[in-house]
Structure 1
Amino acid sequence: MMLKTNHVLIISIMLLGIGVLTYIYYKPSIELASYVGDLSKPKVDVCTEECLEAVKAENDQILKDCLVNDRMSQEKAEDKVSNLETKNENQRDFEAEILVLVWVWPFGERFPFDTCEPLFGVKNCRITDDRSQYENAHGVLFHLRDIYNQIPTLKKLPRFPLQMWVWMNNESPDFSPRLSDGEDLFNLTSNYRRDSDIWSPYGRVYKATEEEKAFQIPKKDKLVCWIVSHWDDNFPRVKYFNELSKHVNVDGFGNHFGRRISNEDYFNVIRSCKFYLSFENSIYKDYISEKVYNPLVLGTVPVVIGPPRDNYEEFIPQNAFIHIDDFKTPQDLAEHLKLADQNQEIYESYFDWRKHFVAKLGHPEEHACRTCEYIRMNRNFRSIRNINKWYFG
C-alpha cells in the first residue's frame, strides 16, 4: 500500500514538473477578446507578446499620425479663416470708393463726373476738382500741358505714400513740353501709348451689336476731303498733299483753305466724302488720333499718314483704311482713289469690317475713370524716375 502511495506521489511530482516546464517555455496566450457562453461567435485571434509589441508600435504611429493630422487640420482651418478674412478684406477694398482729383481741367475743358460706370464699366469711382479733397484722393490727375511750368509749386505739396500722381498727356512728343526738375514726381502715366500705365487712346474698335451691324454707307458727294488749320510747309503731310493734289481733286476746309467750318459742319463734311485725308502732324508709335477715328465712326474711309501700317493694324481692321505706304507714289494713290470712285464693289469692300465691328471715339474723362480702375486693381509700388526719357526717347 505504501508502495502504491509513493508511486502516486512520484507521478504527481513529475506531472507538476512537466506543468511548470510547460508554463516556463510555453506561456499561455492572452486573448484580445473573449466570449462567454455564446458558441455561435467565432473565436477571436489571439496575439503573442511579440504581436502585442507590434500592435503597440502601430498604435503609437497611428496616434502620432492622428496628432499630426489634427495639427494639419487645425492649421488648414486657420488658413481657411485667414484666407476668408483676407478675401473679405480684399472684397471690401475692391468695392470701396476710389477718389480721383483732377488738379486742373485739360485745356480748361470740363468733362462729366458720372460717366465712368455707363461708359467704361468702372464702378465706385468719384471724380472731383475740389482741391480741398487732396489729402483724401487716391489719385491726382495732372495734365502735362497745364502744369509743366508749375513744378516748383507742386513740389511743395505734401506727398502721401499711398497717393498716386498721374502724368496725363495725349499730344505727340513734338507738341508736348518737357518737364524741368520734375522727373521723380509721378507714379503713373496716362497716354495714348500702349505701354503707358493707363491706356487712353483717341478711339477704339469694338464688337458691333446687332443694331450696329445694320450699318449703311452715308450718301457721298465728294471724293477726297481734308480739314486742316495747322499748316507747315515742312510737315511730311503737307509735302505729300501738295503732290497728291496734282493728280486728284481734294476739297479742302479749315483755316488754311479759308473755309472755316463749325463743329457740326466738321462732321457733316467728313460724312459726305468717300475718302478723308487722316494725316497726322507728327509720326510716332501708337499715335493714331481722332483724325482717323472720326472717319471710321462717320462712315468714311481714312487715308492715313502716321506710324507704319503694322502699328495701325494693332488697333484697326486692316481693310478699314488706306495707308500711303501701300502705294509707291502719291500719283499711284490718286489713281487708286479714282478707281474706287468708279467701282462701287471696290469702295464698299472698305466697309466689310462693319459687319462685325464698330468704331467709337474716346472720351476725355477716360483718363480719370481708367485711373480709378488702375488704382483699384493694382496695389504694387510704382514710380516714374525719368519720364522725359520714356516719352521723348
Structure 2
Amino acid sequence: MDILILTMKKGLRAICCIGCAITIIYYIYLNHIFESSDHIKRAIIEQYEDLKSANVTHIILWWNQPAWVGTYERKCGNCIVATNRGVFDNSSAVVFSLADRGMGKKPPVKIIKRNQNQIWIAFSLEANTLNLRNRNYANKYWRNMFNWTWNYRSSSDIFMPYGRVSKRQKPLSKNYSMIFQRKNKFAAWAVSHCNAHSLRDKFVTQMNMCLQTKSIDIFGKCGRLKVSESELSNLIDNDYKFYLAFENAFCDDYVTEKIFANYNNDVINVVRGKANYTEIFPKDSFINTKDFRNTKDLVRFMIEVSENETLYSNFLIQKDEFQAWYTLEEQYKKSICDICRKLNDPDLKKKMIFDAVETLGQCIKPNDV
C-alpha cells in the first residue's frame, strides 16, 4: 500500500513538472507572438514615417496637362508634378484631363497590365456639356479605370472650386448710402461664350425687353462694349447696381468664377445656374433667378431694389460679412497638396469609378426661356 501511494505521488509530481514545462513553453511562445506583433506594428510605423520623409518622392503625372496649368506650382511636400510620360511606370498618381485633347480613346495600358498601386485621377473643371469636343472619357474603355475624381463638385475626392468664401474676422465699415447714391447704371454682364447651353443669351434678351428706362450693358465678345478686365471691375464697382453672374451650363454644383470675381465689389450679383447657391454664399447676399416665376417678376424686383436704398444696402451688408477668394492658381496649389496628403496616407483606400461621366453630375436645359 505504501509503495502504491509513493508511486502515485511520484506520478503527480511528474504530471506537475510536465504541466509547468508546457506552461513555460506556451508563455515563451505567446511572448514571441506578442514581440513579433510589436515588431510588425513598429515596422508599419517606420514605413509610414519613411513615406512622409523627404526620401520618398511621389510623382503626380499629368497625362494631358491643360495649357493654363503650365506656370503653376509643381511641388508640394514630398510630391512633384511631372508631364513627361516617360515616368508613367514610376508615378504614384496619373491625372487625365477629361476636357483636353491627348487623353486617348483608350487607356495607355490595359487594366490587367496596370500598376495596381497607382492612382488614376479624372480631372475636369468643365461641365459635361462643355466637353463635347473631347469626350474620350465617355468611351466604354475608360470605365472602371479611375480611382479618384478631381473637380468643382464637393463630392469629389479632390475638391477644387472656382473660388471660396469665408467669414470676415472684422466687419467692413462702409457708407452704404454713399455707395447707393453713386450707382448710376442698372446692370452689367460680361460674356464671351455666346449661345451657351444654359440659354442665358435668350434670358438676358427677355430681361432687356422687360426694362423700359433701364438696360443691361453687355461687355465682351457677345456684346458691343469692350473694356479691359481691370477697367470692367472698376466700372462694376463704381457704376453698376447689379452684375449678372450667369453660368454657361445648368449642371450640378457648377459655379464658376463669375460670381466670385465680383463678390468683393460693391455690387449685387444676380446668379443663374443649377447649383444650390445658399450652400456656398450667405442668404440674402445675392439674387437667384430661379426664385421668380418669370423674367418679368425678376426684373420688377430688381428695379424695386435698385430704387430703394434700404433694400439695396441690406444686400451689400449681408454680402460684406464674407470675403471671396477666387485665384485659380491658389485653388490648384491646394488641390496638389490634397493629392499629396492622400498619397502619404498609410490607410489609403482605393476605389474604382465605373463611369467618369456620372461623377460630373447631371446637366439640363432650363425650362424658363
Kindly provide the amino acid, as one letter, of the partner of residue 370 in structure 1: D
How do 1:152-167 and structure 2 match up within 5 A? 152=106, 154-155=108-109, 159-167=114-122
Kindly provide the amino acid, as one letter, of the partner of residue 92 in structure 1: D
Contact 2:58/2:92, CA 8 A, preserved across alignment: yes
How do 1:284-323 and structure 2 match up within 5 A? 284-307=251-274, 311-323=276-288
**Residue 64 of structure 1, CA deviation:** 9.9
Contact 1:296/1:359, CA 8 A, preserved across alignment: yes
**Residue 108 of structure 1, CA deviation:** 5.2
**Residue 285 of structure 1, CA deviation:** 1.2
Gaps (5+ residues) in structure 1?
1-59, 117-121
Contact 2:189/2:216, CA 8 A, preserved across alignment: yes
**Residue 283 of structure 1, CA deviation:** 0.7
1:162 counterpart SS class: coil
Kindly provide the amino acid, as one letter, of the partner of residue 231 in structure 1: C
State the alpha-carbon separation in 1 of the partners of residues 196 and 98 from structure 2. Answer: 28
Q: TM-score, normalised by structure 2?
A: 0.74
State the alpha-carbon separation in 2 of the partners of residues 329 and 392 from structure 1. Answer: 26
Identity of matched residues, %: 23
Gaps (5+ residues) in structure 2?
1-17, 363-369
Aligned equivalent of 2:7: none
2:269 counterpart SS class: strand
Two-structure CA RMSD over aligned residues (Å): 3.9
State the alpha-carbon separation in 1 of the partners of residues 197 and 355 from structure 2. Answer: 31
How do 1:345-360 and structure 2 match up within 5 A? 345-353=310-318, 356-360=321-325
Contact 1:205/1:359, CA 8 A, preserved across alignment: yes
Contact 1:327/1:333, CA 8 A, preserved across alignment: yes
1:146 counterpart SS class: coil
State the alpha-carbon separation in 2 of the partners of residues 294 and 99 from structure 1. Answer: 33
**Residue 238 of structure 1, CA deviation:** 2.4
Query: Is residue 79 of structure 2 the alignment partner of residue 110 of structure 1?
Result: no
Q: Deviations over 1:14-57 (max 9, x none)?
A: xxxxxxxxxxxxxxxxxxxxxxxxxxxxxxxxxxxxxxxxxxxx
Contact 1:203/1:359, CA 8 A, preserved across alignment: yes
Among 69, 91, 105, which residue is 1:151 paired with? 105
Aligned equivalent of 1:375: 343
State the alpha-carbon separation in 2 of the partners of residues 143 and 347 from structure 1. Answer: 42
Aligned equivalent of 1:43: none
Aligned equivalent of 1:201: 161
State the alpha-carbon separation in 1 of the partners of residues 168 and 19 from structure 2. Answer: 67
Aligned equivalent of 1:388: 357
Q: TM-score, normalised by structure 1?
A: 0.70
**Residue 355 of structure 1, CA deviation:** 5.9
Aligned equivalent of 1:275: 242
State the alpha-carbon separation in 1 of the partners of residues 36 and 158 from structure 2. Answer: 38
The worse-fitting range, judged by mean Cα deviation, of 154-163 and 382-391 is 154-163
State the alpha-carbon separation in 2 of the partners of residues 271 and 298 from structure 1. Answer: 5
Kindly provide the amino acid, as one letter, of the partner of residue 247 in structure 2: E
